[in-house]
Chain A
Amino acid sequence: MTEMTMVQALNAGLRRAMESDPRVLLMGEDIGPLGGVFRVTDGLQKDFGEQRVVDTPLAESGIVGTAVGLAMRGYRPVVEIQFDGFVYPAFDQIVTMVAKHHYRSGGITPMPIVIRIPYGGGIGAVEHHSESPEAYFAHTPGLRVLTPGDAAEAYVTIQQAIACDDPVIYLEPKRRYWDRVEVDDVSAISGGPWTSRVLRQGIDVTLVGYGPMVRTMLEVAEAATEEGWDCSVIDLRTLSPLDLDPVFDDVRRTGRCVVIHEAPTVLGIGAEVAARVMKECFFHLEAPVERVGGAFIPYPPNRYEKHYLPTADRILDAIEQVMSA
């Protein structure tokens, strides 16, 4: 076990993946000597060389499009998009080509590409640096979507994503980049990342979220005990496929569910979770499923973000809401 930040854990995970498979290569803007703007690739170009850690021209469509070609040629490209707001120039390649290629080829050509995207707000950034685009990708058949909740998860799931033969949109909650936890960097990796994780079991309310909201949910669950509410906390971890059986099991016990994400609530991941919980747990529900998320506005200037983001207070309000229904 080693204590690491999420940045360090991702760096270590990438390093291990590159060591164990020579076809893994990294591509992105500023990922070479600079080590990426968040330093996730720090030192990797020095150790693996410029053929495997590729500083690219400034062109996201170019990066992802050439990654497609490299994948066709048998490589396993891991692409870094510098910030969430800059993935859109590559959106056409991702949605039209990366997602569909295996299907179009009748299953002959896999697309083992990982697209790493630092996402989410809460760091006081300027425009285009705080967005949560997960629903676009999760809504696109052919893509898998993963998002780690802490450093230990990041270390393991980045390697699993790289080992996966399908394209994976790998969303890194940037405001948790500098959180430290103990990471098991010794044991062999077992299982797969395509399941949700029950982090805490309570009897009153099931909190469901992912990525940056994992820590928030755990803090809220702590705070809620003071109100006498005993919360379960479930980290979805994989947004495509969704693994909701543990959520259904839990909600059948608690009868109440609150789904939380930073992205706008309208037509977000929470809408899918709520619809399925309603169908699967209908006769167990004590209250309608509540959602806490972004308002239906573009990500606002950062002085507003404490009002925009799902804070502990807003989540506690939602818990109160389902508890008093």
Chain B
Amino acid sequence: MTEDFVQLLTPNGEFRPHLDYPLEPDADLLRALYRDIVLTRRNDVESTALQRTGELGLWCPVLGQEGIQVGAGHAMRRDDYGFTTYREVGLFQVRGVDPVELLQLYRGNSHASWDLTRVGLGLFTIVIGSHALHSVGYAMGIQRDGADQAVLSCFGDGATSTGDVHEAMVFAATYAAPVVFLVQNNQWAISVPVSRQAHAPLVQRAAGYGIPSVRIDGNDVLAGLAVTRVALDHAREGGGPTFIEAMTYRRGAHTTSDDPTRYRAETEVEHWAALDPLDRLTRYMESAGALDEAFVASVQAEADAMGERIRGAIRGMPDPDPVGMFNAVYAEPHPQVEADRQAFIAASTGQLP
């Protein structure tokens, strides 16, 4: 690709420093990025397999998008806050969401069960676009608190068509909210190509809102890290929002229920496979002497152990206690919910109401 975008790591694994987005990748950082991409990928493989064997109802593959997700995750400070869709498995990995907790959602045991405060991520939003507004509102709260924090707001190319994302950009610009919009342009919204969502590069859209924007190579974990970090710093320093369009590709199906052969050519997938984020990081690390066999083996072992732990926890995980479905509907007691809970208990113990 000869696109005009920020790239620090070429597909061949050459490092090209960028004046505006400084980064000195030392071996520790590279290894941390490598580890998170490998673990994300393993999570993806394990979860897909668990869906295939009926242990999960659904899974949303992430293959191909790990670079930007892991890079952006590492750009966040621990006390920054993120809002995501279902797709950001790489970000979940970096922020420490336990895959077993995530998979309980896809198993149907819970709507979400990770500790929001611990991982600093909002519940992920399936209703496309709506969390972009929550991101801005959260950022407006940070402003009022005078806190040294920023918000990362992730959504897809499809989401950019929604009214909520448009309104989010308006609010963010109006209040100079400390938020970074990160669009993963993975070229598709289920079967609909990005050309149907935008007639001009998405990155250009931000200008109309008065929001600075930048397009980056989303398969380059270092660009993802460096650019998102600059944008988050800018936001924390009171500079207002930034819009990042990360060019990437969903190489898997939209979800395990989807059949991409109906709408796209295999050659397209192959084209993007050659731009794989892990391959280029591996090449670079090898050439920089940052990837020794022992380290690779240790990450592999960690991935194997994680896979085993996921399988062990999910396979045959018991259904939740049915009465639990009445919990947490309201923060304060609500007589209707209580009445329904009692009626349910009475009926399930064989008493007619």
Contact = CB atoms under 8 A, between A and B. Distances in A.
Interface in B145-164: 158-159, 161-164
Contacts of A88: 127
B110 A126 contact: no
Interface stretch (B200-208, B227-235, B274-282, B321-329): B321-329
A167 interface: no
B192 A126 contact: no
A199 interface: no
Contacts of B322: 304, 307
A302 B126 CA distance: 15
Interface string B71-108: 00000000000000000000000000000000001111
B57 interface: yes
A314 B340 CA distance: 14
A120 interface: no
Contacts of B319: 303-304
The range of chain B's interface size is 35 or more
B336 to A, nearest CB: 4
A125 interface: yes
Max chain A C-beta neighbours (<10 A), residue from B58, B108, B109, B326: B108
B196 A128 contact: no
The range of chain A's interface size is 35 or more
B289 interface: no
Interface in A256-306: 266, 295-298, 300-305
Nearest to B112: A127
Nearest to B159: A58
A86 interface: yes
B110 A301 contact: yes
Nearest to B336: A296
Contacts of B196: 55-57
A317 B352 contact: yes
B209 interface: no
B128 interface: yes
Contact of B340 (A33, A125, A297): A297
A298 B327 CA distance: 11
Contact of A298 (B58, B126, B163, B329): B329
A72 interface: no
A34 B57 contact: no
Contact of A55 (B106, B163, B192, B258): B192
A82 to B, nearest CB: 9
Which 5 residue pairs are nearest across A and B when measured between Cβ atoms?
A: A302-B108, A34-B191, A57-B161, A58-B158, A295-B340
Interface of A: 29-30, 32-35, 37, 55-59, 61-62, 85-86, 88-89, 124-128, 266, 295-298, 300-305, 307-308, 314, 317, 320-321
26 contacts: A29-B189, A29-B190, A30-B190, A30-B191, A34-B190, A37-B190, A37-B258, A55-B196, A57-B196, A58-B129, A58-B162, A58-B189, A58-B197, A59-B163, A61-B163, A85-B126, A89-B127, A127-B105, A128-B127, A295-B344, A300-B325, A303-B108, A304-B322, A317-B347, A320-B352, A321-B353
